[in-house]
Amino acid sequence: MSRTERDERLAYAKAHANEYRSSLGALADSPYSPWDMAEFAALSANSPFTRARAAWRATRGVHGVQEIAKTLQVCGVGPTTLKAEYCEGIRGLSLTELPRPPYAAHRAGHPIRGLGYSKYSFAACLIDPLGADVVCIDTWMYQAYNGRVPDAGWFRRPAAYVALEGVIVSEAHVVNLPPFAYQWAVWDLARGVRTSHEFLWEPHRA
């Protein structure tokens, strides 16, 4: 990663800091439960953002693996049965089994089916946007720091994930932003589009 790219990330995050802080504040006051947030993290894995959003909205109030799977299929999010099982599994967890501080230690020692390191971290950020000290590193975030897509096994190497996460969190401290706010800013910058997450704090009206 070049100094110029780092400076660009820091400048973008600093310029839009108030907007990202505002979004985190709204998310912190969301009426949705930690289980809802963890489900969205699971549904977002390897799925286009718009499809994951539609699937998450459509499955609120839908119960049972078969019924959830049918809904996911309509929304184009798969593998449908596997992700339906993830959703049902998350709903059966106790609050202490969901992501909780200390996040890095809990992530390493308490795996949650459907939430690898990346999506566990995303769930932690959605549940505790102002306090989470881990970040979601997906393909976009990896490319922002490495200039290429990750190899197939990178996300299964915890040490490599934690090393890059440390770089991102240290940059967040430079601009005095919560790690999730900074990661969100870099994610938007990498994708070239500002992405609204208002659906996670504004109840959906059919």
User: Under a CB-based contact definition with an 8 Å cutoff, are residues 165 and 118 in contact?
Assistant: no
Each residue's pLDDT tens digit, 67-116: 999 999 999 999 999 999 999 999 999 999 999 999 999 999 999 999 99
- Burial class from Cβ neighbours inside 10 Å (0-12, 13-18, 19+) for residue 58 reads middle
What residues does 112 pair with on adjacent strands? 115
Distance CA 104, CA 18 (A): 27
Distance CA 199, CA 201 (A): 5
**Residue 169 burial (CB count, 10 A):** 16
| Average pLDDT value for the chain | 95
Closest CA to 1 of 204, 163, 153, 156: 163
The two three-digit tokens of residue 177, written as one number: 């932003």
The pLDDT value recorded for residue 1 is: 58
